[in-house]
Structure 1
Amino acid sequence: MILNRTTSGGRWRIRPDGPDKVTGKLAYLTDMSREGMLIGRVLRSPHPHAGIVAIHTDNARKIPGVHAVITHADVPGLNRFGIVNPDQPVLCEDRVRFIGDAVAAVAAETPELAALALESIEVEYVLLPVVDDPVQAQSKLSPKLHPGGNVLHRTQYGEGKVEKEFSGCKHIVEETYMTPRQMHTYMETEGGLFIPEEGGRLTVYSPTQHGYKDRMQLARILGLPEFNIRVVSSPIGGSFGGKDELNVQPYGALLALVTGKPVKIHHSRWESVRAGLKRHPMTIKMRTGVDGEGRILAHRVSIIADTGAYATLGAEVLNFCVEHVIGPYRYESVEVEGVSVYTNNGVSGEFRGFGGNQAIFALEGQMDRLAERLGMDPWEFRLLNMRKPEDPGPLGQEIVRTDGAKQVWDALAVNPLWLQRQETSKSEHWIRRGTGAAFVMHGSGLGFGIPDPAGGMLALAADGKIEAIFGYEEFGQGLIATLELMLIEQFGFGADDVRIVIGDTDLVPHSGSSTASRATGMMWKSLQKLRGPFLNRLLKEASSLLSIPTESLRVGIGGIWNDTQDHLLLTYGQLAQGATEEIIYQTHFPFPASPTKRIGAHYLYTYAAVAVQVEVNMLTGRVKLLKQVHAVAAGPVMNPQGFLGQIEGGSGMAVGFALTEDSDMDKGVYLTRNLDTYLIPSWADLNGEIEVQAIEDLPEGDEHGPRGVGEIGSVGIAPAIAEAVYQATGKRLNKLPIDPELLQEVPEFLTKAVDGR
C-alpha cells in the first residue's frame, strides 16, 4: 500500500476529533477552569547545583489573596517521584540539582499574585560545584550528586571474542557520534486542573501518557489510597514521551488539598524548557571491522548517556540503546557497554524513539563508512550483513519471525528515489544534492522483565451506544480514529453506534501505557479476544427478544439485522433496554514478551527502510529535505491516514533532531529559553515530497497483528540525511544537529569571479 499526501477515499475517514481540533473548539485539559479556582505556580532553583540553607516563606504567606505556600515540610507522603526510580524530590529539602528543581509552590487568586508570592519567598543557597560533563562526572574526584554516586546505570552485552576478530579484519572503521538534547516542543505545555471533591477525593485533569501510573505516584506523595484519586488524562496537545513522567501534578494536587479549592497550573514555554524532560544527549563510540568480502567480524560500542539530575527512565533508555546499536545486523563478535550518568544538566527522559534514534544514527553511520571503505554499494552491504528471519534478536533473544527486514530492503532497492540517486544528485553552482538511506529495526513494547499489561472492555451502554473502553490516552496520534475504524471494519458497527471511552481512571481498565509503539497493537489484540463473546452475546439477547434464531441474525450499522442485511430488526438502544442483564466483556493480558530472559529485550519488531534526498546550500551550509521515502513493515494497517500521519510526524521530529534542534546548556544553565532560539522545523522545512509504502504481509499463523509505527518514522531520517549530505558535499559528519558552518564553502567559480579571473 502506497500512502502519500494525495491519497484519499476508501478507508480514509475524517478523524472523530479532527473538526473540533482544527476549528479550535476542542477543550484540552489545560483549557479547563472552575469557578473560584486558584492559580498555582512553582518556585524553581536559579542554580544548577546548590545546598539549601533556609527557605523563608513568611512574607509570601502574608500577601492578601495568597491561599497557600508549601515546601517539602508540607508533603504528607513520599517526597519523591519517578515511575521506576523515584529519586526526584517533589520539593527539595536540602539541595537542588538542576535549575528546574522545585523548592516551593504557591496558590493565589490571580496569576499576578502568584508571581508576587514567588518573588517574596527567600531561599538561602550555598553554591556547589557544577557537574555538567558525564565523563568527568564518573571521576572519583567529582562531587556526588546522589548517595550512590553519579552513575545511574551500567549495562553491557557481549558475544564472541572481539579482539580476536578485529585482528583478522580487512577494514576497520572507528568513529564517535554525538547527539543533542532535543526538546519535545509540544504546543500544549505541561499543566492541569486539580479539584478537591467531597469525601476527600481528588480529581486530576492533567495530560499524561499513563493515568494509572500517575495515580500510583500521586497516592504515594499525598498519603492517600489510590481509589481516592481520579486521573483524567485526555485529550492532550502533544506529548511524545515528555508527559509520561509527573510534571505539574504533585504541586497542583498538594495545593488543591491544602486550600480545599480547585487549582490550575499551566507552564509557560520557559517553564517547560527548564523543568521539562529532554532527549538523552549521547556520545557513542563505535569500532567495527569487516573481512575482505564485507562481512562484519567485530563490533565494539561504548555509550555514555547524560541523564541529567534525576533518573526518570534513563536506565531503560540506555538498555534500549544498547539493543539497537547492535540492530538488524549479524556479527561474528560484538561487545557493547553503556553507562547513564547523573549531571547537573536538565533532566533527560522518555522521548519518541527511546534511545533508538541515537543508536541508529551511529550504527547506520558505521554501515555507510564501511561500505565506502570496501568500495561496495551501501544497500548491498546491508543486505550482506542483514539478520535472517530465523536469527535471534540483537541480544541473542528469541523474537517473532517475520520477513520484514528483507521486505523493506527490497522495497527501497527498486524505489525510483534510490535507483536514480546518481542522476538526481547533480550539483548546480553552489547548490548540491545528495541521496542517502538508512535501515531500521525497532522494538515494540517495554521489553522483557518490565510489567507491560494490556487489555480493554466492550459494553452496550444503557443509551444503546457500543462503548469501547481502554486505559489509553489520545495525544494527537489518532488513537480514537484508529479504534473507531477497527470497530467499524471488524465488528460491522456504524460510526454513530460507538462511543470511545479512554483516559479516565474511574472509568477504564488498566490497559498499560500509551508508549513504546504498543497501543494500536494491544487494542487490536483486545478486540480480537472480545469480538466473539461480545457479538455472540448481542445476538443471543436479540434472538431472545425477537424470537428469531441467532443464525438468522447479523450485527450491523444501527443494530441487529436479518441475515440478509436488508431489514433492521432491533436498534442497539432497544436491545439495551430489553436485555436481561448488562452486556459487558473485559480482557486482560500481557504484551508479548520474549521467553529469553534478558531484561529489556524485545520480542516484536517493526522494520523500515528510509531514503532521503537533500539539497545543501554551500554558501550558507543549510540543508533542505526535498524528498523522503519510507518502506515500513508493520503488519496490517488499521488506519491508513493515521499510519501516514505517524510516519510524517515522526520524520518531522527527526528533521529537527538532524538539522536544528538542541537545548544548549552551559555549566548547567539553559542558553535556550524560548522558540525564538530553539528552532523546530516549520511547514516550509517539511513540505517536500513524502511517500510511505506500508508492507502489511505477516507470516502465516502470526497472531500478533499490527506492529507499532508511532516511533519508527523518527528513527531512520537522521542517518539518511547525514549520508545524503556526504553524497552532496563529500563531508562526513558525526554530530547532530548538523552545524552549517562545517558545510560552508565558496564555490570555485565564485572565487574566480571575485579574483577577476
Structure 2
Amino acid sequence: MPLNRTTSGDRWRVRPDGPDKVTGRLPYLTDLSLPGMLHGRVLRSPYPHARIVSIRTEKAKAIPGVCAVLTSADVPGLNRFGIARPDQPVFCEDRVRFIGDAVAAVAAETEALAAYALTQIEVDYEPLPVVDDPESALSPDSVKLFEHGNVLHRSDYGCGDVEAGFAACRHIVEETYSTPRQMHTYMETEGGLFVPEPNGRLTVYAPTQHGFMDRMQLARILNRPEADIRVVSSPIGGSFGGKDELNVQPYGALLALACGRPVKLHNSRWESVRAGLKRHPMKITMKTGTDEHGRLLAHQVRIVSDAGPYSTLSAEVLNFAVEHVIGPYRFGAVKVESVSVFTNNGMSGEFRGFGGNQAIFALEGQMDRLAEKLGIDPWTFRLMNMRQPGDPGPLGQPIAQTDGARQVWEALADCRLWKEKAAAGNRSETRPPWIKTGYGAALVMHGAGLGVGIPDPAGGRLTLAGDGKIEAAFGYEEFGQGLIASLEQMLIEQFGFDAQDLRIVIGDTDAVPDSGSSTASRATSMMWQALKRLHPPFATALRKQASRALGVGMEKLVLGRGGIRDAESGSLLISYGELAKTASEPIVAETKFAYPTSPVDRVGAHYLYTYASVAVKVEVNTLTGRVKLLDQFHAVAAGPVVNPQGYLGQIEGGSGMALGFALTEDAVMDKGMYLTRNLDTYLIPTIAELSGGFEVLPIEELPEGDKHGPRGVGEIGSVGLAPAIAAAVHDAVGKRVNKLPIDPALLLEKPVFLNKAVEWR
C-alpha cells in the first residue's frame, strides 16, 4: 500500500515520544541544568590558517567568577580527537587550520562572564597563506597543512580495459559535476551538561550518535578508564551525521573536572556553523560511453573531495562515493580515481547519505545525457543497463541478492506521476508562458552499514525486570528518526507483547550494551536482527519460569499481551509482574554479533543495499529562475516495513534535506571564511516548499530465504531527489544542470511580450 500523509491503518501507532515532542514538553539534553553549574565557552581562531606565537590567559583567570581557563597544556591525555584518525586538536598548540579551531576554553559563573573572559585571553597569531581550493592544494607548490602534505586519502577502483572500451564507443558524454557544502541545521545545536560525580566518575549529557565511541575518545583525552565515564546521549534534537563526531564534549569534560562542578556548554547557531561538520563539497568529473545500441561500455571517474582541515570520516565518505559513482549499472570497464584533500575551509564530515548524494547526482546526470544522445527514453536506458539479480556489487564484491533495482524501476514506470508525464504533451497549458513544467526521475542503489574492514558491532539485551516490565536495552540513540517507535513495534509483532509491557532503554552507556553507531542506515536492521536472535532464548526462559510457577507444561504456554497465556484459549495465566516475583534471579537474554559484510578485501565495500526510484514534477519560473517542487513519488525496496509512520517520516525528512541540497543550501566560503553565518542567509526548505504532493511506495518483498530482514531507510530518501529535479528542470526548459544548488541565473530567459492579454488559471 502506498504511504502518504493521509494513510492510516492498524500498524500506524502514536509514537511513544511523539506527544511530548510536538507539545514541547520533551527536554533535549541541552535543556538540562543543575544548581551551582558553571557556563563554558570555547575561544576559537579568527584566522583560517595561522601560527600561534603566544597565548596569555592571566587576565582571564584573574576575573572574579571565572573558575577555569584551559589550553593545550591542561589536557592530561591525548590532545586529539577523531573517530577514525584522531588528528583534530582539542586545543591547538602552535598552529590553527580553520576558523573553528579551538585555542582555549573557560568556565564561569554566568554566560555573560564566560563570554567576557574569552575577550581577555590574549593570543598572538602570525597569519599564514590560506589553502581554500582542493585542486590547488594538490599542487606541489601549495602550502602544506601537514608534514605529509595535503592529501588525506586516495581511493581507486578499476575493472576491464577502459581505453579499449572508449575506443569502441559510439557515444561518449564528458561532464564535471559540483556539489555544495551543506549544513545539517539541526534544531538543537551542539551542547551538553558535564557533571563530575561524588564518586570520581564523570557523567556526560551530550547529543551523539554513538555514546560508546564518545566514551572511548573522552577516556583518551582525559587519561581516565572508560568505566569512569558515563555518556547519556538521548533524546537529541536532530543529528543527520553532524553529531557522530565529538564537538563540545572534550571542552565540557575538561572544564567540569578542572572545576569540580557541573559545566554547561551550548553552541550558538554561529558557533555551530563555524565549528561544526558540513557535507563534503565534491567535484566529480565523469566520462561515460555506450555502443550504438546504448549498452554502457566504459566509465571513467575522478572525484576531488574537500575534507577541510582534519580527517574525521572523510576517507570513509570518499570510499562510499567511489562505490556509488558506479551504482546499479553494468559497465564493460570502469576506472575510478579519487582523492580527499585537506584545506583551510570548514570541517567536512558525516552527513546523511555519506557521499552517495554527490555520487548519484553525477551518475544519474550521465545516464540522462547519454540517453538524450542516443535518442532513447532515459528510464528505458536505465533498464537496459541495470545490474541483474546474481550480479556482484559495484566493486565486484558478493552482495545480498534482491530484485530491488528492477522492482523500483517498474514501480516508477507505473506510477501516477510518470503516467501524468506521458499525458502532459496532450494538454493545453493554462499557465503564463514564463512558467514551465517538467518531470524527471532517478534511480538509487545505496549501501547500508559501515562496510568491510570497519568495526561494526551490533547487539541488544532483553530482561524481565523486577517490576514486571520487559526491558529492551540497546546502545542506539533516538535523534528524531523514530527508533523508539520502531523498536516498540518490533517487540509487539515478534513477541506478542503490549506496549504497556515494555520499557525501552537506550542512549546510556551505563545501562545498555554496545550496539554500534546509530548511523549508516543500520539501527533498525540491527534491532530486527537482534530481536530475531533474542526471541528463542528469552521466550523459552519466560515460558520455563511460568511452567514452574503454574505447574503447567511449557508446550501449553505462549507469550502475549500482559503476560503468559494459554496456548489454546489465549486466556491470561500469569502477568509479567507476577512472573517476575516468582523468579529467584532476573531473566535475561543478550546477543552480540556484527553487521553483515561481503567476503572481500576491499575496505568499505557493502553487502546490504536499499534501492529506490524517485519521480518529480517541478515548475520553473523563467523570469526569476526559481524552481518549485510540485509533486514527488518514491518507490523504496528495503524489505518489510517495521513502522509505517517512521518509514514515511524518514523518506519525507530525507527529501526535505535533498530539496535544500538541490535548490538553496550552500555554506559559502571565501578564503577560508564563512560568508553564510546564520539561517537568515542560509536558506533551508520550509513547509511551504514541502507542501506539494508526496507518495511513497514501499516494496516489502525479499527473496525466499533472505535472513537479513528490513534494510535501512534513514538515508535513501535524501539521495535521489536532486538528480530527479535536475532531470525535471531539463525537461521543462531544456537546460542541463551540473552544479548544485541550481543557480537561478542559469534558468533565466528573456521575457516574451504579447500583443494580447493572456489568461491562465
Q: TM-score range by the shorter chain?
A: over 0.9
How far apart are 1:753 and its partner, in Å? 9.2
Q: Partners in 2 of 1:368 and 1:477 — Cα distance?
A: 33
How far apart are 1:565 and its partner, in Å? 4.5
1:46 corresponds to: 46
Q: Partners in 2 of 1:752 and 1:693 — Cα distance?
A: 45
> SS in structure 2 opposite 1:684?
coil
One-letter code aligned to 1:89: P
Offset from partner CA, 1:498-550 (integer Å, 9 cap, x none) = 01000000011110100000000000000000001101111110111111111
Q: Partners in 2 of 1:553 and 1:449 — Cα distance?
A: 44
Q: Partners in 2 of 1:465 and 1:651 — Cα distance?
A: 38
> SS in structure 2 opposite 1:420?
helix
More displaced 10-residue stretch of structure 1: 607-616 or 419-428: 419-428
Q: Partners in 1 of 2:183 and 2:755 — Cα distance?
A: 40
2:99 corresponds to: 99
2:296 corresponds to: 296
How far apart are 1:200 and its partner, in Å? 1.8
2:363 corresponds to: 363
8 Å contact kept, 1:424–1:433 = no
Q: Partners in 1 of 2:146 and 2:457 — Cα distance?
A: 32
Q: How does 1:536-547 map to 2 (within 5 A)?
A: 536-547=540-551
Name which of 571, 575, 578 aligns with 2:579: 575
Q: How does 1:237-248 map to 2 (within 5 A)?
A: 237-248=237-248
Name which of 642, 661, 668 aligns with 2:665: 661
Q: Partners in 2 of 1:415 and 1:256 — Cα distance?
A: 57
Q: Partners in 2 of 1:46 and 1:640 — Cα distance?
A: 47
Q: Partners in 2 of 1:488 and 1:446 — Cα distance?
A: 29
8 Å contact kept, 1:438–1:717 = yes
How far apart are 1:749 and its partner, in Å? 3.5
Q: How does 1:459-538 map to 2 (within 5 A)?
A: 459-538=463-542
1:221 corresponds to: 221
Offset from partner CA, 1:631-662 (integer Å, 9 cap, x none) = 00000110011000000000000000000000
1:691 corresponds to: 695
One-letter code aligned to 1:147: E
Seen in structure 2, the aligned counterparts of structure 1 residues 751 and 289 have a Cα distance that, compared at 3 Å, is farther
Name which of 637, 650, 654 aligns with 2:654: 650
Determine whether 1:597 maps to 2:601. yes
How far apart are 1:146 and its partner, in Å? 1.2
8 Å contact kept, 1:554–1:565 = no
Q: Partners in 2 of 1:106 and 1:544 — Cα distance?
A: 61
> SS in structure 1 opposite 2:272?
helix
2:258 corresponds to: 258
> SS in structure 2 opposite 1:376?
coil
Determine whether 1:443 maps to 2:447. yes
8 Å contact kept, 1:39–1:265 = yes
How far apart are 1:334 and its partner, in Å? 0.5
Q: Partners in 1 of 2:404 and 2:412 — Cα distance?
A: 12
One-letter code aligned to 2:319: N
How far apart are 1:320 and its partner, in Å? 0.1
> SS in structure 2 opposite 1:3?
coil
8 Å contact kept, 1:289–1:299 = yes
Once superposed, which parts of structure 1, at least 4 consecutive aligned residues long, lie more than 4 Å away?
Answer: 750-754
Q: Partners in 2 of 1:423 and 1:190 — Cα distance?
A: 49
Q: Partners in 2 of 1:415 and 1:464 — Cα distance?
A: 48
1:235 corresponds to: 235
Determine whether 1:548 maps to 2:577. no
One-letter code aligned to 1:701: G
Name which of 692, 704, 708 aligns with 1:704: 708
Offset from partner CA, 1:395-423 (integer Å, 9 cap, x none) = 00000111111111111111121122143
Unaligned stretches of 5+ residues in structure 1: none
Q: Partners in 2 of 1:155 and 1:753 — Cα distance?
A: 59
Q: How does 1:166-185 map to 2 (within 5 A)?
A: 166-185=166-185
Identity fraction in percent: 72
One-letter code aligned to 1:697: E
1:411 corresponds to: 411
Unaligned stretches of 5+ residues in structure 2: none
Q: Partners in 1 of 2:387 and 2:447 — Cα distance?
A: 15
Q: Partners in 2 of 1:408 and 1:325 — Cα distance?
A: 19
One-letter code aligned to 2:165: E
More displaced 10-residue stretch of structure 1: 656-665 or 159-168: 159-168
- Per the normalisation by structure 2, the TM-score is 0.98
1:639 corresponds to: 643
Q: How does 1:242-391 map to 2 (within 5 A)?
A: 242-391=242-391
Q: Partners in 1 of 2:156 and 2:371 — Cα distance?
A: 27
> SS in structure 2 opposite 1:748?
coil
Q: Partners in 2 of 1:656 and 1:255 — Cα distance?
A: 37
> SS in structure 1 opposite 2:134?
coil
Q: Partners in 2 of 1:21 and 1:613 — Cα distance?
A: 32
Determine whether 1:588 maps to 2:592. yes
Q: Partners in 1 of 2:557 and 2:374 — Cα distance?
A: 66
One-letter code aligned to 1:432: K
> SS in structure 1 opposite 2:565?
strand
More displaced 10-residue stretch of structure 1: 541-550 or 82-91: 541-550
How far apart are 1:751 and its partner, in Å? 9.5
One-letter code aligned to 1:18: G
Q: Partners in 2 of 1:165 and 1:12 — Cα distance?
A: 51
Q: How does 1:88-167 map to 2 (within 5 A)?
A: 88-167=88-167
How far apart are 1:567 and its partner, in Å? 2.6
Q: How does 1:623-638 map to 2 (within 5 A)?
A: 623-638=627-642
Q: Partners in 2 of 1:350 and 1:181 — Cα distance?
A: 12
How far apart are 1:430 and its partner, in Å? 1.0
Offset from partner CA, 1:321-349 (integer Å, 9 cap, x none) = 00000000001100000000000000000
One-letter code aligned to 2:437: R
Q: Partners in 2 of 1:565 and 1:269 — Cα distance?
A: 59
Q: Partners in 1 of 2:421 and 2:228 — Cα distance?
A: 61
Q: Partners in 1 of 2:304 and 2:386 — Cα distance?
A: 26
8 Å contact kept, 1:624–1:685 = yes
Q: Partners in 2 of 1:350 and 1:125 — Cα distance?
A: 30
How far apart are 1:469 and its partner, in Å? 0.5
One-letter code aligned to 1:205: Y
Offset from partner CA, 1:443-483 (integer Å, 9 cap, x none) = 00000011111010000011110011100000000000000
How far apart are 1:238 and its partner, in Å? 0.1
What is the RMSD computed on CA atoms of the aligned residues?
1.2
Offset from partner CA, 1:561-588 (integer Å, 9 cap, x none) = 2223443221111111111321001000
